[in-house]
Amino acid sequence: MNWTEVVSKAPEKPGVYIFKGKRKPTYIGKAKNIKKRLQQHLKLSETDTKEFAIFRDSVSLEWIITRNEFEALVLEVDLIQSHKPKYNILHKYGGGYPMLLLTEEPYPTIKVVRGTQHKGMLYGPFLQASKAYKVKKLIHKLFKLRTCDPLPKRTEPCMDYHLGLCSAPCTGFVTREEYELSVEGSKALLSGEVADILPKLYEKVEDFAKEMLFEKCAHIRDQIRALENITRGQSVTGLPYNCADLFYTLGRRVGLFLIRGGKLISKEIYDLDRETDFEEFILGYYYSNFVPETILGNFKLSEEAKRWIRERAKHKVEFLQEVPLELVNLAEENVKESINLELLEEEFSGKLGIQLPRIIEGFDISHFYGEDTVGSCVIWEEGRINKKRYRRYRVKSLSQIDDYGALREVLTRRARRLKEKREPMPDLWLIDGGKGQMNVAIQVRDLFNLPIKVFSIAKEEEILLTEDGKQLKLKEEPILYRVFGLIRDEAHRFALSYNKKLRTKRALEDVLSKVKGVGETRRKIIYRNFDNLYEFIRADEERLRKLGLPISLQQEVKKYLE
């Protein structure tokens, strides 16, 4: 297709443009002037891997004219979230981080939810999902909010009561007053605002002591300790913001820091494909995540983006670029978190005689006695691990143990993608293994004529081998060991985790093949949505219903396992 000719027909008006692939859009963008923006795309495709890929994977180009830039932005966001084009980053951050919901009910409970359309009080977001579930578990353990949903009517409490995770309001084992005090304590733990609840808890301890209810005294004492520990455990407190998100950018790297109740509570670091992706990133983040009262950081957003965020929030949102020095220093330290690149340059030049690689790809092979053979590719980019670009491979050409053959297949598949410019070209391949594995990598590299150096790490002695004959004892080179050891360990971990996942999946398939009522269609639904048997038999009825799976099927699997 003659893209220059297609672009020349584009209008010089605001709107949205859509690169279309064979089945779905590959990229959607907005512009004040569609034609000028498309001309920029075309020019960048000569040097930029991502831009090249957009044109390569597209078969047509369309545009929709709007009245102004804000309408273009609204339309762009909606189209991206609807079609999820491969080369847009906005939808990657639009799934929503988990939040904790304290429900609005006579006997409230705590739930892990996503999105913001829920009745009750929301706390979060939690940038690591595991942390949300840990806090939920802690609240059940400390405050014993009910674990059943919806609240049933029982004459005898369930096992969670006996495990100390629920106060059993379903049986009347707890008074309404005591339960409400637990709810207040949960709110205090989640918000960090403990001043109002602590005196009430101390009074309750005295009341229970007078009545000689020592078990309840101990329970309240544990709550008091947990809440007091919150006030002691904050390293950054007294910030002049009740509820704020801080974004701090350094090049392509973005740090997100959550401030709640005047305290810094969480952070996450992201690596974008390009510095120009920042506005798309922040729109994607707020598409499904809570919008705080204040958004601050060292960035500039268009007025259209600010307006979209404010309308999304449905409350007043303040955008600030004046950040307290304490927060600036903390944010910069976290965003720069990596090995000193100048020091690394000296080490690579002095010890290995090469320039510091910008990108290193690490590979490992894993199998279980010849079964479920898989390979991993992990990425070290500009001084730090980039997990978003990890890739895993299921080896298809082998049915027995053959580490060299498996490595050859994985590297061949990777080399083909590099040759086709589907991935940025690395400077170095690091192979987990000795000279034999390194020679396989060199053969594949030469076959595809790739401009890549090849190193390997011999496991036993932790010796780094280079293709020009150098041998370095990494344990005597701590700075280089920190780089190469990290990449090798990550490649090993990532390959092993994929191998385990395949084995647990196979165990699930084996059991389902022996359970009555599981046809081919239901097996496929279960395989796609559950990683193992435990996850399937623990799934709640609502999730099964949405997947079209009867609860009786879950019960049959449980019976088979008993």
- Are 426 and 403 in contact by the 8 Å Cβ rule? The answer is no
Torsion sign (Cα): 364, 366, 370, 373: negative
Q: Which of 177, 197, 232 is the last residue of a domain?
A: 232
Task: Count the domains in the chain.
Answer: 5
Domain containing 355 equals 347-501
351 and 491 within one domain: yes
Domain membership of residue 371 (yes or no) is yes
**Which pLDDT tens digits describe the chain residue by residue (562 residues)?**
899 999 999 999 999 999 999 989 999 999 999 999 999 999 999 888 889 999 999 999 999 999 999 999 999 988 998 888 989 887 666 567 888 899 999 899 999 888 777 888 888 788 777 778 888 888 888 888 998 888 888 888 888 888 888 989 999 888 898 899 889 888 877 776 666 777 777 777 787 787 777 777 877 877 777 666 655 545 555 677 888 999 998 877 888 998 887 778 788 888 787 778 888 889 988 888 889 999 998 888 999 999 999 998 888 999 998 888 888 888 887 777 656 677 788 889 988 999 999 999 999 988 765 567 889 999 999 888 888 899 999 888 776 778 899 999 999 999 999 998 889 999 999 999 889 999 999 999 999 999 999 999 987 778 999 998 889 998 888 788 889 998 999 999 888 887 777 666 666 566 666 666 677 777 767 766 776 666 777 788 777 877 778 888 777 777 665 5
Sign of CA dihedral 530, 535, 536, 541: negative
Within a domain: 45: yes
116 and 80: one domain?
Answer: no
Do β-strands 263-271 and 253-260 pair in parallel, antiparallel, or remain unpaired? Answer: antiparallel
Q: Clarify whether residues 222 and 252 are in a common domain.
A: no
Surface-to-core class of residue 282, CB atoms within 10 Å of its CB (0-12 exposed, 13-18 middle, 19+ buried) = buried
CA distance 196 to 201: 10
Whether 452 and 408 share a structural domain: yes
340 lies in a domain? no
Asked if residue 363 and residue 493 are part of one domain, the reply reads yes
Which phi and psi angles does 299 have, rounded to 5°? -140, 165
Same domain, 360 and 487: yes
CA dist., res. 282 & res. 296, Å (int) = 12
pLDDT at 233: 47
Residues 198 and 253 in one domain: no
Q: Are residues 129 and 196 in the same domain?
A: yes
Q: 207 Cβ partners below 8 Å, 6+ apart?
A: none
Could you tell me if 69 and 10 are in contact, meaning their C-beta atoms sit under 8 angstroms apart? no
Give the C-alpha separation, 184 to 189, whole Å.
Answer: 9
Full-model pTM: 0.59
Single-letter amino acid code for the residue at 299: F
Three-state secondary-structure class, residue 373: strand
- Residue 520: exposure state from Cβ atoms within 10 A (0-12, 13-18, ≥19): exposed
CATH number of the domain that 68 lies in?
Answer: 3.40.1440.10
Backbone angles phi, psi at 485, to 5 degrees: -65, -40
Alpha-carbon distance values, 481 to 460, 462, 466 (Å): 14, 9, 14
Q: Does a structural domain hold residue 20?
A: yes
Same domain, 534 and 423: no
Domain shared by 13 and 121, yes or no: no
